[in-house]
Amino acid sequence: MDNVYLPKPEVRKFIYRKKRLSQLIKEGYRMLIATIAVLSFVFTFCYIRIQTQSTVLGYYLSEIKTENEVLKNKNLDLTQKVLEAQSMKSLDGQTFSSRMYATTQEDIAYAKGDTDLAVLPFRLEHD
C-alpha cells in the first residue's frame, strides 16, 4: 500500500465522481422532458390568455357598438324634434308670425350694380 497515492483531504472533496453513460443519458432525457413540459405549459397558458383577452375585447367592442347605435338613434330623434320646433308649422301660432307677410315677385326690387342684390321693400302694414 505504500505505492498508492491518496490526495490530501482538502482536495478530495473536489474530486468528480464518474458516472455511467446510461445514467447521463437518463438525466439528459429527464431534463429534455421537463424542458418540453415547461415550455408547452407556458405556450399553452399564453395562448389561452390571448384568446380570452380577444374574446373579452370582442364582447366590449360589441357593447360599445350597440351603445353607439343607441346614441345615434337618440341624436337623430332629438335633431328631428329640434327641426320640428324650428319649422314654420310651429311658428304659425306665435305672435311675431302675425307680423310677417308673404312676398310676391312684385315686392322684390332688384338693385343693379356690383353686387346685383335683391332687396325687399320695407312695409309697415300687413296685407
Closest residue by Cα to residue 123 from 89, 109, 112:
109
pTM: 0.40
* Whether 111 contacts 86, CB under 8 Å: no
> Averaged over 108-116, what is the pLDDT?
63
Residue 10, pLDDT above cutoff 80: no
Rounded Cα–Cα distance for residues 99 and 88 (Å): 14
For the chain, how long is the longest CA-to-CA vector?
A: 146
Per-residue model confidence (pLDDT) at position 127: 46
> Averaged over 62-83, what is the pLDDT?
93
3-state secondary structure of 119: strand
Calculate Rg over the CA atoms of the chain.
Answer: 47
What lies within 8 Å, CB to CB, of 109 at 6+ separation is 118, 119, 120, 121
Q: Which residue type occupies 12?
A: R
